[in-house]
Amino acid sequence: KVLILDFGSQYTQLIARRVRELNIYSEIHPFNKPPKNVDDYKAVILSGSPMSVRSEDAFHPDLSEIRGKKPMLAVCYGAQYLAHFSGGEVAESNTREYGRANLSFVEEDAFFKNISVGSQVWMSHSDTIKNLPTNGKLLASTHDVKNAAYKIEGESTYAIQFHPEVYHSKDGKQLLENFLVAIANVNPDWTPNAFVQETVDDLKAKLGDDKVVLGLSGGVDSSVAAMLLHKAIGKNLYCIFVNNGLLRKNEFTEVLEQYKGMGLNVKGVDASARFLDALAGLSDPEKKRKAIGNAFIEVFDQEANLIEDVKWLAQGTIYPDVIESVSATGGPSATIKSHHNVGGLPDYMKLKIVEPLRALFKDEVRRVGASMGMDKDLLGRHPFPGPGLAIRILGDITAEKVQILQDVDAVFINGLRDAGLYDKVWQAGAILLPVNSVGVMGDERTYEKCVALRAVESTDGMTADWVNLPYEFLQKTSNDIINKVKGVNRVVYDISSKPPATIEWE
Ligand code: XMP
């Protein structure tokens, strides 16, 4: 396995992700709390940092157990750190060193195997390495950055000023592979299967005979988290699946059956009426969210209290949900932000939190689920917001509006499936607008509701673009909706990107 020492860069998790993509297992540890058995690791990567090595309180790790003894790759801050404290010089840079740059090689080296001259790399730093450290040998430069990559002679120590982990460094993964496989001789034999095994073993050791409660949402993350825990502790995992009445059409019964079929110890709780009550008369989006969040906590709390002696709350939190990453100085026990779908529990429950997917990205969660033999449709489901259809019905919520939107949504989503488009879209749904418009059906004038369809492509929901769905598909969907769903006489398609629009309308 590979050790990543974190100096607090926003990209550290991305390094871990890229390494996992190479089928190599890696662990992130704060630089000031390295693991005890450094010998267990075959290579070490030093991350970037928001810090400057020139500042008085610059992070100054003790690398004596590592440097020269193990292959080491120092990224950005790491590269400056090596230079600054080992006989080189780092200074404030006077040219802008952010964004794209192209590599030119000074020295031939296994480090650059299969990477061609001009390869685009991504820079993000305000200091620059003026002089290499003792025994430093320059390997590559860019137009603005002379010392873009170097190695230390007599050691397997490599240093790069750019970020190989970000998407825009085109050959970044190749570079990591060159370092880890060709130079450090790490075996790329780590798979989602191995993740499942390790996680299940860890969970067993951590949870023992304790009881754990988990809120299932029907989504990918909570379902995969549940399966991992189920493998580890079986019936001691108590799953609760709450119907807030704002799910997709038939979703509650269908998904509940599916969960039972997977062998999960799951209780379905239909609290639709309670949520509708809590929403009555509310039209402000944030007030609606709050009402739903509170109702959820009440229902979940009530159910969890029925489980005698429950000690843990499991959550399907994945990496993008972890807004506050493990801080470089605070160590691994940084405050846990509760999953936005669960919303946190009252303090008096005093449950300890377990989050087996905390380090993974969505596509990795899907791969882990697939390796446990989970249903493809369940794993491929689009993201769906915790407040459900309530934030897709603009304005106040009534049972009738929910039903109309469920019907519209079902036509749209089933249509996407039938047309083989579902998996090409990251997220899709329908929005019920608070306007009526005039139409004509038969010879009758109508004055009915308008719905908007939204389909976006994205990787993480942070940015998104609307999907160019085929006109024929839109035409058929619009027809089907207006013919099948009573109360709707107009369908529009949302062609806004995020930003400036958001994915949801509320
Ligand atoms: P926006 O609308 O912010 O959505 O572009 C980005 C992603 O987040 C989901 N979303 C939510 N999920 N509770 C959730 O659990 C919410 O209140 C919420 N609001 C938006 C949205 O569906 C999309 O995937």
In a domain, 132, yes or no: yes
pLDDT at 348: 55
**Most ligand 1 atoms within 8 A of CB, residue of 426, 427, 465, 503 to mutate:** 503
- Residue with CA closest to ligand 1 atom 19: 385
Beta strands in 76-161 (DSSP E): 89-92, 98-102, 104-105, 120-124, 127-131, 136-141, 149-152, 157-160
- Residue with CA closest to ligand 1 atom 4: 503
Known binder of ligand: residue 223?
yes
Distance (angstroms) between ligand 1 centre and the Cα of 462 equals: 9
**Range in 42-46, 421-425, 435-439, 498-502 the model is least confident about:** 498-502
User: In the structure encoding, which two tokens stand for residue 12, read together?
Assistant: 């550290």
Q: Give the tens place of pLDDT for each residue, 271-312.
A: 999 999 999 999 999 999 999 999 999 999 999 999 999 999
pLDDT at 411: 98
Same domain, 97 and 230: no
Known binder of ligand: residue 219?
yes
Residue 327 scores a pLDDT above 60: no
In a domain, 505, yes or no: no
**Range in 126-140, 234-248, 456-470 the model is least confident about:** 456-470
17-55 residues labelled b (16+ CB within 10 A) or e (exposed):
bbbbebebbbebbbbbebeeeeeebbbbbbbbbebbbee
**Distance, CA of 251 to CA of 245 (rounded, Å):** 10
Same domain, 205 and 175: no
pLDDT tier at 93, thresholds 50, 70, 90: confident
Stronger pLDDT, 446 or 320, i.e. the higher one: 446
The number of distinct structural domains making up the chain is 3
CB 336 within 8 A of CB 327: no
340 is an active site residue: no
For 231-246, the three-class secondary structure string (H helix, E strand, C coil) is HHHHHHEEEEEEECCC
Stronger pLDDT, 233 or 94, i.e. the higher one: 233
pLDDT at 94: 79
In a domain, 503, yes or no: no
Same domain, 227 and 83: no
Same domain, 164 and 224: no
Give yes or no for residue 133 CB within 6 A of ligand 1: no
Known binder of ligand: residue 220?
yes
pLDDT at 400: 97
pLDDT at 490: 98
Distance (angstroms) between ligand 1 centre and the Cα of 226 equals: 22
Give mean pLDDT, residues 98-109.
91
Same domain, 247 and 355: yes
Q: Give the tens place of pLDDT for each residue, 179-213.
A: 999 999 999 988 999 999 999 999 999 999 999 99
311-339 residues labelled b (16+ CB within 10 A) or e (exposed):
bbbbbbbbbebbeeebebeeeeeeeeebb
Residue of 165, 251, 355, 364 with catalytic role: 165
Same domain, 6 and 113: yes
Q: Any idea what the CATH number is for the domain that residue 343 is in?
A: 3.40.50.620
In a domain, 501, yes or no: no
Same domain, 346 and 374: yes
* 291 burial type by CB count under 10 A (0-12 exposed, 13-18 middle, 19+ buried): buried
382 is an active site residue: no
pLDDT at 98: 81
Q: Any idea what the CATH number is for the domain that residue 436 is in?
A: 3.30.300.10
CB 102 within 8 A of CB 141: no
| Mean pLDDT estimate for the chain | 91
pLDDT at 338: 32
Known binder of ligand: residue 88?
no
Residue of 29, 76, 364, 506 with catalytic role: 76
Stronger pLDDT, 432 or 323, i.e. the higher one: 432
Distance (angstroms) between ligand 1 centre and the Cα of 504 equals: 6
pLDDT tier at 330, thresholds 50, 70, 90: very low
Same domain, 145 and 98: yes
What ipTM was estimated for this complex? 0.98
Residue 124 scores a pLDDT above 60: yes
**Range in 341-355, 369-383, 417-431 the model is least confident about:** 341-355
Same domain, 241 and 332: yes
Give yes or no for residue 498 CB within 6 A of ligand 1: yes
Distance (angstroms) between ligand 1 centre and the Cα of 388 equals: 9
Same domain, 247 and 353: yes
Range of the domain at 29: 2-183
Residue 325 scores a pLDDT above 60: no
Task: Please list the residues that pair with 269 across neighbouring strands.
Answer: 242
Q: Of 345, 379, 413, which closes a domain?
A: 379
Same domain, 468 and 421: yes
User: In the structure encoding, which two tokens stand for residue 255, read together?
Assistant: 């998904």
pLDDT at 300: 94
The ligand 1 atom nearest the CA atom of 506:
2
The ligand 1 atom nearest the CA atom of 383:
24
Give yes or no for residue 383 CB within 6 A of ligand 1: yes
In a domain, 506, yes or no: no
Give yes or no for residue 503 CB within 6 A of ligand 1: yes
**Count of other CB atoms within 10 angstroms of residue 154:** 9
Give yes or no for residue 217 CB within 6 A of ligand 1: no
Give yes or no for residue 292 CB within 6 A of ligand 1: no
pLDDT tier at 328, thresholds 50, 70, 90: very low
Stronger pLDDT, 379 or 50, i.e. the higher one: 379
In a domain, 374, yes or no: yes
29 is an active site residue: no
Distance (angstroms) between ligand 1 centre and the Cα of 488 equals: 25
Q: Give the tens place of pLDDT for each residue, 430-459.
A: 999 999 999 998 889 999 999 999 999 998
Residue of 29, 84, 125, 163 with catalytic role: 163
In a domain, 388, yes or no: no
The ligand 1 atom nearest the CA atom of 502:
5
Q: Give the tens place of pLDDT for each residue, 412-436.
A: 999 999 999 999 999 999 999 999 9
Same domain, 319 and 219: yes
**Dihedral pair phi/psi, residue 299, rounded to 5°:** -65, -45
In a domain, 386, yes or no: no
Give yes or no for residue 431 CB within 6 A of ligand 1: no
CA angle centred on 428, ends 468 and 229, rounded to 5°: 135
pLDDT at 345: 57
Give yes or no for residue 164 CB within 6 A of ligand 1: no
pLDDT at 320: 74
Distance (angstroms) between ligand 1 centre and the Cα of 351 equals: 26
- List, in order, residues 6 or more apart from 80 with CB less than 8 Å away: 53, 90, 125, 127, 129, 161
pLDDT tier at 356, thresholds 50, 70, 90: very high
Give yes or no for residue 285 CB within 6 A of ligand 1: no
pLDDT at 315: 94
CA–CA distances in Å: residue 66 to residues 72, 308, 332: 8, 48, 21
**Range in 30-34, 132-136, 266-270, 289-293 the model is least confident about:** 30-34
Percent of the chain at pLDDT > 70 equals 94
One-letter identity of residue 136:
G
Give mean pLDDT, residues 103-122.
94
**Range in 1-5, 90-94, 353-357 the model is least confident about:** 90-94
